[in-house]
Amino acid sequence: MFAELRNLRQNVFTSKFIQVGRRLAQALPSVFGVILISFILTRALPGDPAVYFAGDMADKESIEQVRVALGLDRGWVEQFFIYVGNLANGDWGMSLSTGRPVTEELLDRLPASLELTLLGLGLAVLIAVPLGVLAATRPNSWLDHLCRLLVTAGVSLPTFFTGLFLVYIFYYLLGWSPSPLGRLDILYLSPPPVTGFYSLDSLLAGDQETFWASLAQLVLPAITLALFALAPIARMTRAAMLGALVSDFVRTARANGLSRSVVLSTYAFRNAALPVLTTLGMVFSFLLGANVLVEKVFSWPGIGSFAIEALVASDYAAVQGFVLAMALLFVCVNLAIDVILTLIDPRVGLD
């Protein structure tokens, strides 16, 4: 039996490697499922898919060409393979309203949305995690009540409403924030594109004024998103910390006289961090949806507002492209979180 255990120990490294590989492999069915549903949605469209995928400029002949290219005259399975092939080649159809390929439009606008979402998520984590930890370590204090209030109220807030409310207070009433009309006031020119993030790019170009201007535009929408993400993160952090603090192993640590800071950080928080990390994945998914609403309120030129315009214009190729892109992005983020968890939790791989 001891030899077996020794082998297990030596193989933990290789087994982690295999676990990560397994996680990567497990993501493949998700990708497949996403593409399949996307395919079903494109075929469920009212009207002729070929018209939508051909684009605005198309005449009867080119629509026929597109119809053949999409394989709409063939069987379902063939159509699916053609569809997958097209996706892989970067051919996601043409946008009816702008006349450009959908992929180009999406890639163009992605940095704007990412800048907003990442800032919102970052703000939320910076506030929610310490708040949750403090609420758990000081039960029934004002921090605890604040946390619980935030959580209960936070999950009830409609994102678009908070955005509008903030605009009303901070723009109309107080005049502190600039007009909610996009990423940059018309007075400024966008910085030379490196990452696509106006804030980073302007810093990289050494343009202080543009940096502050872009940040000023970012503040309100980012706070709106952050408020939305605060509640689930704070709730999970508080619950996980509470669970860790009453656990048997924290009791043992205290019974052996370990200092408060060691008990809180090494014993309680590290264990609580695992479910919090998992929650972040779920929160990111909600944020991608909330993004659409926030972009509409603040006229933010990201993929969300692109999708809304496309919806209004019945530009279905663009809408489906948007849905697929979001799903793939989400799958990647989840995969990343899964891999991190696999690496830091020694118990993973026991199932």
Partner 1 sequence: MGRHLKHFRYVMGENSVTVFAFSLFALIVFLAILGPWITPYDPLATNAANTLQPPSLRNFFGTDHLGRDVFSRVIAATRLDLGIAVSAVSISFVIGSALGCSAGFWGGWTDRIVGRFSDTIMAFPLFVLAMGIVAAMGNTVENIIYATAIINLPFYARVARAETSVRRGAGYVDAARLSGSGDVRILASQIFPNILPPMMVQVSLNMGWAILNAAGLSFIGLGVRPPEAEWGIMVAEGANYIVSGEWWLAIFPGAALMLAVFCFNLLGDGLRDLVDPLRRT
Partner 2 sequence: MVPAPFLDIKGLSVEFRTRNGVVRAIEDVSLELAKGEVLGIVGESGSGKSVTAYTVIGLLDGAGAPVSGSASYDGIKVSGADETVMRDLRGREISMIFQNPRAALNPIRPVGRQIEDVLLRHGLATRQTARAKAIEMLEKVKIVEPELRYGSYPFELSGGMCQRVMIAIALACDPRLLIADEPTTGLDVTTQAATMDLVRELTQERNMAVVLITHDLGMAAAYCDRIVVMEKGVVVETAPVEELFSNPRHVYTKKLIAASPGPNSTLTDLAPTELLSPKIPISHCSPAKPVTREVMGSKKILEVINLTKEFPRKQSSMPCWPWRKAPRSEKVFRAVDDISFSLMRGTSLGLVGESGCGKSTTSSIIARLMNPTSGDVIFDGENISAYRAETFARRPERKKIQMVFQDPTDSLNPSYTAHDSIAEPLKRLLKMRDRELIREKVAALADRVGLPANLLSRFPHQLSGGQKARVGIARAIAVDPKLLILDEPTSALDVSVQAVVLQLLDRLKKELGMSYIFVSHDLNVVRLLCENVVVMNRGKIVEQGGADEILRQPTEPYTKALIAAIPHFEPQKAIH
List C-alpha distances in Å: 176 to 171, 173, 289. 6, 9, 28
Residues in the chain: 351
Tell me the window of 36-44, 184-192, 271-279, 343-351 that interacts with partner 1 (CB under 8 A). 36-44
Site string for partner 2, 5-44 (x = CB under 8 A): xxxxx-x--xx--xx-------------------------
Scanning 166-174, 201-209, 256-264, 266-274 for contacts with partner 1 by CB under 8 A, the matching segment is 166-174
Query: Measured from the CB of residue 298, what is the shortest distance to partner 1 in angstroms?
Result: 10
Query: Is residue 260 near partner 2 by the rule CB under 8 A?
Result: yes
156 binds partner 2 (CB under 8 A): no
End-to-end CA distance of the chain: 21
337 belongs to the binding site for partner 1 (CB under 8 A): no
* Of 64, 249, 289, 299, the one binding partner 2 by CB under 8 A: 249
How far apart, in whole angstroms, are the C-alpha atoms of residue 224 and residue 213? 18
Asked if residue 138 binds partner 2 (CB under 8 A), the reply is: no
Indicate the Cα dihedral angle 131, 136, 139, 141, nearest 10°.
-10
Q: Kindly give the residue spans of alpha helices, DSSP state H, lying in 259-315.
A: 260-262, 270-297, 303-312
Out of 121, 123, 226, 307, which residue is the one contacting partner 1 (CB under 8 A)?
A: 307
User: Please, which contacts does 169-175 make with residues 24 or more away whose CB atoms are closer than 8 Å?
Assistant: 170/220, 171/220
Query: In this chain, which stretch among 99-107, 245-253, 314-322, 339-347 interacts with partner 1, using CB under 8 A?
Result: 314-322
Q: Which residues pair with 101 in a beta bridge?
A: 94
Residue 176 interacts with partner 1 (CB under 8 A): yes or no: no
Residue 265 binds which entry of partner 2, partner 1, none, with Cβ cut-offs from 5 to 8 Å by kind?
A: none
Q: Which residue among 81, 266, 289, 332 contacts partner 2 (CB under 8 A)? A: 266
> Considering only residues 197, 235, 316, 348, which one is a binding residue for partner 1 as defined by CB under 8 A?
316
Contact positions with partner 1 (CB under 8 A) in 278-297: 285-286, 288-290, 292-293, 296-297
Range list of β-strands (E), the chain: none
Q: How far is the CB of 15 from partner 2 (least distance, A)?
A: 4
Which residue type sits at 76?
Answer: W
Dump the DSSP string for 12-65.
Answer: HHHHHHHHHHHHHHHHHHHHHHHHHHHHHHHHT-SS-HHHHHH-TT--HHHHHH
60 binds partner 2 (CB under 8 A): no
Specify the 3-state DSSP secondary structure of 9.
Answer: helix
CB of residue 329 to partner 1, shortest distance in Å: 8
CA atoms within 13 A on the CB side of 164: 8
CB nearer to partner 2: pick between 143 and 310: 143
Would you put residue 247 in left (φ > 0), alpha (ψ -120 to 50) or beta? beta
Token representation of residue 313: 């214009």
The footprint of partner 1 (CB under 8 A) covers 29-30, 33-34, 36-38, 41-42, 44-46, 152-153, 155-161, 164-165, 167-168, 171-172, 179-180, 285-286, 288-290, 292-293, 296-297, 307-308, 311-312, 316, 319-320, 322-323, 326-327, 330-331, 334
